Amino acid sequence: MKNLALIFSLFFITIQSQITLRITKLPQNTEDKAKLYLASNLNGWKAEDSQFEFKKNSDGFYTLLIPNQAQKIEYKITKGSWDFSETDEKGNGIQNRILENPEKIQTVELEIKNWSSPKEKKHTTTSNVKILSEKFNIPQLKTTRKIWIYLPPDYETSKKKYPVIYMHDGQNLFDEFTSFSGEWSVDETLDELYKETGKSAIVIGIDNGGDKRLTEYSPWNNSKYKTTGEGDLYVEFLAKTLKPYIDKTYRTEKQASKTLIIGSSMGGLISLFASAKYPTVFGKAGIFSPAFWFASKDLNKYLNVNQNNLKNSKFYFVAGKNEDETVAPEIKNMEKLLLKKSVPEKNIVVKIDEDGSHTEAYWKRELKASLLWFLD
C-alpha cells in the first residue's frame, strides 16, 4: 500500500508540474481541421513538431501541456509551417511570445489574431553564387546535401588565393526564395565589403538537414528533445571531406588562420565545437546567438577536458538582449573557458546588443562587422 501511495503521489506531482497552454480564440480563417503547433526555443523553432502539437478538446479549445522549465520560453503558434504562423490583425509579423515564469504551474490562455499567408518569394542570389552540388556526398552521415558557393567579384579575373568561410543553414544565406524567414544576404554583404575595402572570401554554404538539424548540429545526445548527437560526424565531414575538396578545386588559402566557420543558434553551437575540435583547420569562428543551452554541460565538459591548442584561434560572439535570457550568460561563461584554454583576450569579441533578437534579420545586420574583424 505504501508503494502504491508513493507511485500515486509521484504521478500526481508529475501531472501538476506542467504548464497548460490553451488557445481560446482563433481567427475566422482557421480551418476546422487545422493542426496547431508550438514553435519555440524548446524545440529548435521547428514549425511542425508532433511533440508540441495542440490537441482539440470537446469544448473546441486547443490545449498543450508542457513540463515546467528553468529557462524563459519564447514561442509562437503555427499551423505546421512558418508560412502559416500567427500574426497581428492585419497580417503583420509579431514579436515572439514570452513566458516569463516557466518554473511555475500555470495556465496560459492565448488568442490568435490572424495567420500569415505564403508570400511570393523571389530568387535574390547575385551572379557570383552557384550551386556547387545538389547532392554532395556526406559519407560520415550516409546522406547527401545541397552545397552553395560564393566566389569573390574578382575571382575570375585574378590569380589570387582567398580565405574560405564555411557556413551552416545554407538555405538562409543567399536566397530569399529558399530561406526560412529571411536571408542573411551574405553575397550582397561581401560584394559591398569588396567595393569598400578590396577584401573578400569564398563562402561555402551547407544546407541543413531539415528535421535532422538538431541532430546534426549537436555532438551530444539530448534526451529531452530525443535527439542523437551526430554533430561530431558532421564536423568531421566539413574538416576531412568538404574542405579538402574545396581546397583542391578552388584557389584557397588553406591555413587555419584563413579558414572561418560561422553559424547561428544551433549553427553557433556546432561552429564553436568545430573550432575547438579542429583548431588547425578552422582558426576562426563566428558564433551568432548560440544555442549553448541545448548541450551546455556536455560542451563545458568537452572544453575543460579537451587539450587542443587554441592560442591562435579567434572567436566572434553576437547575441541580443531580446533573446532567451540564458544566451548572454552562456556566452560570458564560454569566454571565460576559452581564456582558460589560452585564447588571447584580443582574439575574442563579445557583442551583446540591446535590440538584438533571434532572427535572420539581426544576424544579417551583424555579419559585416564580424567579417571586417575576421578578414582584417
Domains 2-115 and 129-375 alike in fold: no
Rounded distance, CA 213 to CA 267, Å? 9
- The residue with cell 591555413 is 255
pLDDT tens for the chain, 376 residues: list them. 444 444 434 343 344 458 999 999 999 989 988 999 999 888 878 889 999 999 988 888 899 998 877 777 889 999 998 889 999 998 888 888 888 778 888 999 999 999 988 777 789 999 999 999 999 999 999 999 999 999 999 999 999 999 999 999 999 999 999 998 789 999 999 999 999 999 999 999 999 998 899 999 999 999 878 889 999 999 999 999 999 999 999 999 999 999 999 999 999 999 999 999 999 999 999 999 999 999 999 999 999 888 778 999 999 999 998 887 889 999 999 999 999 989 999 999 999 999 998 889 999 999 999 999 999 8
List pLDDT tens digits, range 83-125. Answer: 899 999 988 888 888 887 788 889 999 999 999 887 777 899 9
Rounded distance, CA 1 to CA 3, Å? 5
Kindly provide the b/e burial profile for residues 192-209, where b requires at least 16 CB atoms within 10 angstroms of the residue's own CB. ebeeeeebbbbbbbbbbb
Rounded distance, CA 167 to CA 164, Å? 10
- Sign of dihedral through CA atoms 173, 177, 179, 185? positive
pTM higher than 0.75, yes or no? yes
Taking alpha carbons only, the member of 203, 205, 207 closest to residue 150 is 203
Fold that domain 129-375 belongs to in CATH: Rossmann fold (3.40.50)
Q: Which residues pair with 352 in a beta bridge?
A: 319
Classify residue 294 by its DSSP letter: G
For the chain, which residues make up each domain, given as ranges?
2-115, 129-375
| DSSP E strand boundaries for 26-154 | 37-40, 55-56, 62-67, 73-81, 84-87, 97-99, 106-111, 114-115, 129-138, 143-150
Fold that domain 2-115 belongs to in CATH: Immunoglobulin-like (2.60.40)
Element containing residue 290 per DSSP (H, E)? none
Q: Which residues pair with 165 in a beta bridge?
A: 203, 260
Q: Which residues pair with 40 in a beta bridge?
A: 75
Contact 51, 43 (CB under 8 A): yes
